[in-house]
Structure 1
Amino acid sequence: MPRAPKASPSVTVAQRPLAVTPTVDPTKVATIEEIGQDIATAILEKRLPPGTWLREEALGRVYGVSRTKVRAALLTLSKDKLIEMIPDKGAFVSKPTVQEAREVFGLRRILESEVVRLFIAKARPRDYQRLEQHIRFERSALRPHATTGTVREKLLGDFHVALAEATGNATLAELVRELVARSSLIAMLYHSDNDSHCASGEHADFLRLCRSGQVEAAVASMTEHLMRIEASLHLVQDGPDRQLDLINALLA
């Protein structure tokens, strides 16, 4: 596969070949939505780390579609901030700055506090059952050799999305979904030390507070949970050496 051109300072991570294994049905022509979802999944599962060059020609071969269709899927992902479209260079997996990382978690604390209040006010028994089942999935994934760390992290993030969806506010849920996805990129880039066992336990403690109707205690629990996740990040501006180490670690 041809090598990527030398990157500008805004895309300094090594631009390795694509690592997308499509999950769409190979007997059917992939839709724009399916291509976008497949690429988004590859990003969140760390197969496409921050800074990866997403070549339209290569993706077209992977999915058996035109570059026009690929470009439409990439534009959709750029609206969700998962990728960055750089004029005259192409599409790259987004590489959030330290400032952006702090802003994302700050905004999550604001939005998810409102999510908690709405959830307690509107949740039905089936909503609690769904979230309790999700926590059981998390705990199952935490068993030794059960799943990869990436799958565990995605399950933990999905809890927040499911909570937002249960409020019935589609716009709020969409915003939370975008911020959770961006948080996954941030955790990948800034080497999160988040303890999955601790995070899942905090989800369970939080849900018990919701069930008992303790609104402010539940809000405080969610806020502290997000603050701990942010504190687990190494939020320092990385130089080229650390970026190369990141790529080498993902390829090992």
Structure 2
Amino acid sequence: MTNVYFLGGGNMAAAIAGGLVKQGGYRVHIANRGAEKRERLVRELGVAVSERLPVLGADDVLVLAVKPQDMQTACTGVETNGALVLSVAAGLSVNTLSRYLGGTRRIVRVMPNTPSQIGLGVSGLFAENGISDGDKRVAELIMQAVGLTIWLEAEADMHAITGISGSGPAYVFYLLNALQNAAKTQGFDEETARRLSLATFKGAVALAEQSGKDFAVLQQNVTSKGGTTHEAVETFKSCRVAEAIEAGVAACVARSQEMAQQYEAV
């Protein structure tokens, strides 16, 4: 049974730890400075907790789940002792993490997203060429406890997946909120507007998954020329909605790259 230690007990750590507990086959331990949070983690997940990390061994897994800006301080004094390290911190390269952890390069970077909290996450993973297939498999199995995993060929791809799936749920929530507000403008009460928006998104995603058709084809199937949907889509086009989404993703990726450069310099 693999020991998985978490440094940090925030939402993502709790999501992954919860997935591992539910799946079984792991001994999960979370180190977190806050006593109140430790008590909650024990109560909600039934995991072992402590204020500081115990002594690690080479067969253990350490998951770094601290905010990027706090990582250097949190890693002070941490001895990995050869343990496999998974980092879910955005913007921290293998080089930076290695510097924080005394030179180890047995590191797998992970970019998860918030639907991991309900087992429907997407996680991009990257490991240097020196990482063994066995270590990659361990990392993959851990993250599959909370959703889909995708291996990235280059570390620079971590920025791209941050812009798509890492930050992507926020884009969906933004659109959900916009549709809900539009429904309210058309006279629906807030609860009905919320239900309509959620059901519309849920049904459209399920249809796309089950049909396997290209998204553009699915759109065309419901868009009769001169009809009601056509008017909406043409309005979106005139407002350059698709271009705005693409620009937003590009801005997210650029910010991820900028953050990485900042952490490299510290």
Fold-level similarity (TM above 0.5): no
TM-score for both structures, normalised by structure 1: 0.31
Which is strand-richer, 1 or 2?
A: 2
Asked which structure has the greater CA Rg, the reply is 2
* Greater relative contact order (CA < 8 Å, ≥ 6 in sequence): 1
Q: Which has more helix, going by share of residues?
A: 1
The normalised TM-score by structure 2 is 0.30
